[in-house]
Chains A and B, each alone.
Chain A
């Protein structure tokens, strides 16, 4: 099992460009999450999906959109990137228990 995979690993964007971060899990989990991690801030929840077909805002959703394509895949889209969105983005999934399983992260720099 690959667990949770994310692509790309690294990305550099110019202000105003758009991009989609991809996430997939092979653990048959219902819930999936997108977090951002900034120095000294811990992890902050951007969006989550409790099950296929549903998505909800987290703590910091502004500037982002998500799509739960199917049970396996949950993508995060930046429509018009801003320097404030420079961060490390983590996707996670969760099954019937409370624990979460994280992907390796995408390091995004917006210039």
Chain B
């Protein structure tokens, strides 16, 4: 069963715009991760945020975590056509090391 649920399911934007996708989860976590999947490829790890962190940056990526609301957001700034992909959040519960993946957000960036 999915622990994390991404929202929206699909997002279509123009190049240069920012893209924001959200992830909500149900139980307390140790950490939350975001992965990207290009069409026909495997998932690639983007960023991990621990439960005691509120915000993390990596290049054009910004991830926030609100444990009181059990939610996270991934912001991609100044999107490029190459950012077109599906993005998945994955949660790791306390006492475990295995992530549980959501259903993903499909992002299309139009050039």
Interface residues of B in 60-96 (CB under 8 A from A): 88, 92
Shortest Cβ distance from B102 into A: residue: A42
* A35 to B8 Cα, complex, angstroms: 23
Shortest Cβ distance from A35 into B: residue: B101
Contact A102-B43, Cβ < 8 Å, known A41-B103, A59-B1: yes
Q: Is the interface of A mostly helix, strand, loop or mixed?
A: strand
Any B CB within 8 A of the CB of A48: yes
Any B CB within 8 A of the CB of A4: yes
Chain A min CB distance to B69 (Å): 21
Indicate if the CB atoms of B48 and A98 lie closer than 8 Å. Answer: yes
Chain A min CB distance to B86 (Å): 10
Q: How many residues of A contact B (CB 8 A)?
A: 25
Which chain A residues lie closer than 8 Å to B45 at the CB level?
A: 99-101
Interface size class, chain B: 20 to 34
Residues of A in contact with B (beta carbons under 8 Å apart): 4, 31, 33, 35, 40-45, 48, 58-59, 90, 92, 94, 97-105
Indicate if the CB atoms of A4 and B42 lie closer than 8 Å. Answer: yes
Indicate if the CB atoms of A90 and B42 lie closer than 8 Å. Answer: yes
* A96 to B43 Cα, complex, angstroms: 19
* A53 to B40 Cα, complex, angstroms: 31
A and B contact pairs by CB, cutoff 8 A, 8 listed: A33-B98, A41-B103, A42-B2, A45-B100, A98-B92, A98-B99, A101-B45, A105-B42
Interface residues of B in 10-67 (CB under 8 A from A): 30-31, 33, 40-45, 48
Indicate if the CB atoms of A104 and B104 lie closer than 8 Å. Answer: no
Which chain B residues lie closer than 8 Å to A97 at the CB level?
A: 48
The residue from B1, B41, B48 contacting A99, defined by CB atoms under 8 A apart = B48
Indicate if the CB atoms of A40 and B42 lie closer than 8 Å. Answer: no
The residue from A43, A59, A98, A101 contacting B31, defined by CB atoms under 8 A apart = A98
* A40 to B1 Cα, complex, angstroms: 13
